[in-house]
């Protein structure tokens, strides 16, 4: 990790969720700013999943997904990219917080690397790790892949697919799994096709799957966009992808 990252010590541990014995909120610092993630680990040797939230910030949704992954035998650190207590509910605020990070890609990378450092300090096996992201988090995960991170893989659910100007995938090391909705109007199939070409050109091992009839945010329970079939199929594909990673 870069020396410019300033990671604070563990400040607060609180029990959350159904798996309270394993899962806990973790307050930490990156570059002197406080963040609050969520950590759950079934065993010391379990591979690590770095989970990146959507534009709502780290909420009960990511906690539930973390617990589902822990049930499958993975340690999970759900990172916070907005700041402790920052969980926007209005669209204008969500756009503000994601927009700031889209404009400052180095900060976005620092925050994810800072989360990895925090996970490492908690005993997570960061040498065997993958990154998984939803919506905004999917775009962030691809940013991490382009940075040349040593993680074993990168998976996105209905995430942003555009590559920023001046970037490419020549530094990417792990494989990439893209799970996308064919009816996603926020992230059109044209972006999907362009990314496929970029990954092939860079020689990056990848798999890109499209689910018919699935709109943006098709995995978000309780929302108008939720599609049970696409959610089930994409989740099962993530689990088989993780099973196949060369840990």
pLDDT digits over 125-140, tens only? 999 999 999 999 999 9
* Element housing 210 (H / E): strand 206-211
Boundaries of domain holding 188: 42-57+88-244
SS3 of residue 199 by DSSP? helix
Q: How many domains does the chain have?
A: 1
Residue 184 falls inside a structural domain: yes
Residue 189 falls inside a structural domain: yes
For residue 75, list its beta bridge partners: 48
The number of C-alpha atoms within 13 Å of 91 and in the hemisphere containing its C-beta is 0
Tell me the per-residue pLDDT of 102-128, one tens digit each, with 9 for 90 and over: 999 999 999 999 999 999 999 999 999
Per-residue tokens: 78: 């759900």
The whole-number pLDDT of residue 246 equals 84
Q: For Cα atoms 66, 47, 82, give the angle at the middle one, nearest 5 degrees.
A: 45
Residue 118 falls inside a structural domain: yes
Residue 6 falls inside a structural domain: no
Residue 66 falls inside a structural domain: no
Tell me the per-residue pLDDT of 31-50, one tens digit each, with 9 for 90 and over: 999 999 999 999 989 999 99
Tell me the per-residue pLDDT of 214-228, one tens digit each, with 9 for 90 and over: 999 999 999 999 999
Tell me the per-residue pLDDT of 82-95, one tens digit each, with 9 for 90 and over: 999 999 999 999 99
Tell me the per-residue pLDDT of 14-24, one tens digit each, with 9 for 90 and over: 333 334 337 99
Question: Is the separation of the CB atoms in 111 and 132 below 8 Å?
Answer: no
pTM of whole model > 0.85?
A: yes
Say how far apart CA 216 and CA 62 lie, in whole Å: 17
Q: What Å distances lie between residue 72 and 37, 41, 42, 115, 151, CA to CA?
A: 20, 11, 9, 22, 19
């Amino acid at each position: 990790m870069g020396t410019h990252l300033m990671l604070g010590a563990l400040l607060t541990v609180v029990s959350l969720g159904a798996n309270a014995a394993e899962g806990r909120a973790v307050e930490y610092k990156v570059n002197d700013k406080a963040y609050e993630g969520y950590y759950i680990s079934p065993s010391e040797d379990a591979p690590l999943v770095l989970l990146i939230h959507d534009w709502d910030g780290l909420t009960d949704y990511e906690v539930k997904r973390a617990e589902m992954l822990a049930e499958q035998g993975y340690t999970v650190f759900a990172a916070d990219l907005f700041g402790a207590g920052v969980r926007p509910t209005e669209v204008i605020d969500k756009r503000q917080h994601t927009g700031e990070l889209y404009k400052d890609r180095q900060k976005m990378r620092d925050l994810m690397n800072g989360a990895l450092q925090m996970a490492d300090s908690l005993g997570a096996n960061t040498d065997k790790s993958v990154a998984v992201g939803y919506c905004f988090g999917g775009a962030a995960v691809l940013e991490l892949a382009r940075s040349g991170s040593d993680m074993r893989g990168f998976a996105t659910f209905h995430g942003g697919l555009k590559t920023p100007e001046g970037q490419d995938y020549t530094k990417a090391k792990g494989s990439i799994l893209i799970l996308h909705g064919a009816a996603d109007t926020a992230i059109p199939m044209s972006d999907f096709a362009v990314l496929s070409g970029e990954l092939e050109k860079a020689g990056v091992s990848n798999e890109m799957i499209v689910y018919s009839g699935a709109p943006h945010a098709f995995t978000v329970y309780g929302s108008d966009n939720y599609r049970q079939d696409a959610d089930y199929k994409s989740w099962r594909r993530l689990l088989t992808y993780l099973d196949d990673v060369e840990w």
